Amino acid sequence: MNNHGNPDLHDGPAALNPARDGRILAIAAIAFAITFFVNIVLTDAPDMYSANAPTLVFYRDSGLLLKGMLAAYAAAAAAFCFIVMVVSAVRLLDRSRQHFAAIAAAIGGVSFVALYLVGAALFVAPAFTLVFNNEAGPIPLTDDFALFARAAVGLGDVFLLFICGFGAAVFVAAISFGGRRAGFLPRWLASFGVVTAVALVSPLIFFSLIFLVAWAVVIGAYLLRR
């Protein structure tokens, strides 16, 4: 059969690729939303606004230390799911001949994952320092350790709640504009993506991340149904 337009979107073995990439993107988006939300919920270590005493109480509690470590593993799972999202989205946009959007999605997605992992590592650094200490004796829980822990978590807040949002905004905007132009996203979902991208670069802090979770769930559910 003689097809016109983009050959990747018509008959033959290549025709399965866009549908496959769309399904992978959908599943990865929903998995990312779940693991990312779990990471946010579990990430609750004392920050720079806390005093030394409650900070030391927190790090003496083995249950709270375990909670922090689980948050780190949830962050690693979320990062992996987001990488799968990036690869699938870039392939889908590239096959739809939205090359600029594909490049922007790749740059934004990789930037988000890198900055997000830095933030997650800072959050869990004090707990990992205590649990995986290879020195002769345990690390003393003094005011100096409390200062280190609060500083690490405070810097992690900056990466997680603000800086990594810029990379995510580029990724979401690229998929929204590119997907709309390619025809695999409806106008309302592309508009929701633009709103999410704006929220991610605005000073909404925690609520910006909720927008990202909601967008991932919505686009995942839509592509699965489609």
| Residue showing tokens 């025709």 | 15
- Classify burial at 29, counting beta carbons within 10 Å of its beta carbon; exposed 0-12, middle 13-18, buried 19 or more: buried
Alpha-carbon distance of 101 to 107, in angstroms, equals 10
Contact 38, 74 (CB under 8 A): yes
3-state SS class at 5: coil
The pLDDT score that the predictor gives to residue 53 is 84
Has residue 42 got a pLDDT over 90?
A: no
Distance CA 158, CA 167 (A): 14
Rg of the chain taking only CA atoms, in angstroms: 20
Burial group, residue 70, by CB count within 10 angstroms (0-12, 13-18, 19+): middle
Please give the pLDDT value at position 137: 61
pLDDT interval class at 17 (50, 70, 90): low
Tokens for 207?
Answer: 């609520």
Least confident range of 111-115, 130-134, 144-148: 130-134
Mean predicted confidence (pLDDT) in 169-182: 92
pLDDT band at 10 (very low <50, low <70, confident <90, very high): very low
What are the tokens at 53? 């005493």
What is the CB neighbour count within 10 angstroms for residue 77?
17
Query: Mind listing the pLDDT tens digit for each residue in 69-78?
Result: 888 899 999 9
**pLDDT at residue 57 is higher than 80:** yes
As a residue count, the chain comes to 226
Under the banding of pLDDT at 50, 70 and 90, the label for residue 16 is very low
Q: Could you tell me which of 179, 168, 182, 206 has the C-alpha nearest to residue 83?
A: 168
Report pLDDT for 171: 95
Query: What is residue 2's predicted lDDT score, i.e. its pLDDT?
Result: 42
What is the full DSSP assignment across 159-204?
A: IIIIIHHHHHHHHHHHHHHHHHHHTSS-HHHHHHHHHHHHHHTTTT
